[in-house]
Structure 1
Amino acid sequence: MLKSTLLVIAAALAVLLVYAATKPDTFRVERSLRIHASPERLHAMINDLHSFNTWNPYERKDPALKGSYGQTTVGAGARYGWESHEVGTGSLAILETVPASKVTMALDFVKPFEAHNQAEFTLQPEQDGTRVTWAMHGPVPYLAKVMHVFINVDRMVGTDFEAGLANLKTLAEKAVTEKAT
């Protein structure tokens, strides 16, 4: 009986590991939202890491988060690092910025799992506002593929991106309303 149970467990584990190996080698999570503010205004709120962290959903998840800024906090070369029991440990750096159009960041996570990803914010003018798209992509090593069998990364990270974009919308539209009055 024990031998049969162990064989079933070993077979199930083998199927799981083979299935995980068929998962994609890269991932991409993307969300977008239309915001009633100019691309210039929104770019400034993303391209300045102090401003970025006023709406960053991960910064809001842990009031005890310990963050530290680099010597540069705006534009290419700007850096920020964090340590948190809730959102892990890592750093981000702005790699590229195109005024009123795009900000690209390198995201390096140390804990709870090591990962090296890239985030992109693109700003597309639309009637009465701007479509802001927040995307993150990166490699998926084999161990992460096994985890992806059980965890829906798109839903997990996408929910955070949706919250962050909603925070950005609230702050940006409030600023536009205050300027108009």
Structure 2
Amino acid sequence: MLKILIAIAIILVVAILGVLAYAATRPDTFRVQRSASIKAPPEKIFPLINDLQAWRGWSPYEKKDPDMQRRYSGPAAGKGAHYAWDGNKEIGAGSLEIIESMPSSKIAMRLDFVRPFESTNRADFTLEPNGDSTTVTWAMTGPLTLMFKLVHLVFNFDRMVGGDFEAGLADLKTLAETP
């Protein structure tokens, strides 16, 4: 009986070490990106992203917790605009700050999560004119610690966050295309 328990323990240790070793070989960063074509000029879309209070009209996270607590600081829009939230377990808590704002073409943000886990990522919105439409790309990048690499083995982060980005871009499209 003791030999069986020792054999099981050894198998478990080897399996755990194998999973850890495999996770350690995964990339050290992640990127989630989605794009949408919006029939509106960049000048109409840009303010909807650059003004953080305008996000209430299209952000998928607003729908997930309409009762979340919001705090705005800094300028109303553009570089230095800051937004902090504290919401339900689906939204968590954190903040974002616009760190780069290039009119009608690009907005970059520092995204700090506090809950359910701590992390710092970067979110970028790019707007590229394409005839009578604009291609809007929403991307998020960040580091992957070993713990997050393990989580990524089980959960498809690209599909989870990417689905939110797709929903947000669809709502942004509806808002921007409305006369």
**1:20-78 deviation per Cα after TM superposition (whole angstroms, max 9, x unaligned):** 10010111111000001110011111000111232111121112211111132300000
Give the secondary structure class of the aligned counterpart of 1:63: coil
**Residue matched to 2:106:** 102
SS of match in other structure, 1:7: helix
**Counterparts of 2:76 and 2:6, CA distance in 1:** 60
2:19 maps to 1:16: yes
- Alpha-carbon distance in 1 for matches of 2:83, 2:118: 17
Unaligned runs of 5+ in 1: none
1:163 matched residue in structure 2 = 167
Q: Aligned partners of 1:5 and 1:90: how far apart in 2?
A: 43
Select 2:119's aligned residue among 115, 122, 125: 115
Match of 1:60 in 2: 63
TM-score w.r.t. the length of structure 2 is 0.94
Structure 1 distance, partners of 2:37, 2:119, is 30
- Code of the residue aligned with 1:62 in structure 2: it is D
Partner amino acid, structure 2, of 1:6: A
Q: Write the mapping of 1:141-180 to structure 2, written as runs, cut at 5 A.
A: 141-174=145-178, 178=179
User: Given residue 105 of structure 2, which amino acid in structure 1 is its aligned partner?
Assistant: S
> Which of 71, 74, 77 is 1:71 aligned to?
74
CA RMSD of aligned residues (A): 1.0
Report runs of 4+ in structure 1 exceeding 3 Å deviation.
none
Counterpart-to-counterpart distance in 2, 1:54 and 1:95: 22
How many matched pairs?
175
Deviations 1:62-117 (A, max 9, x none): 12211111132300000000011221110000001111100001100011111100
1:134 paired residue number? 138
- Distance (Å, rounded) in 1 between the aligned partners of 2:107 and 2:47: 10
> Distance between the aligned counterparts of 2:175 and 2:85, measured in 1?
23
Task: Name the % identity.
Answer: 51
Distance 1:56 1:171 in 2: 11
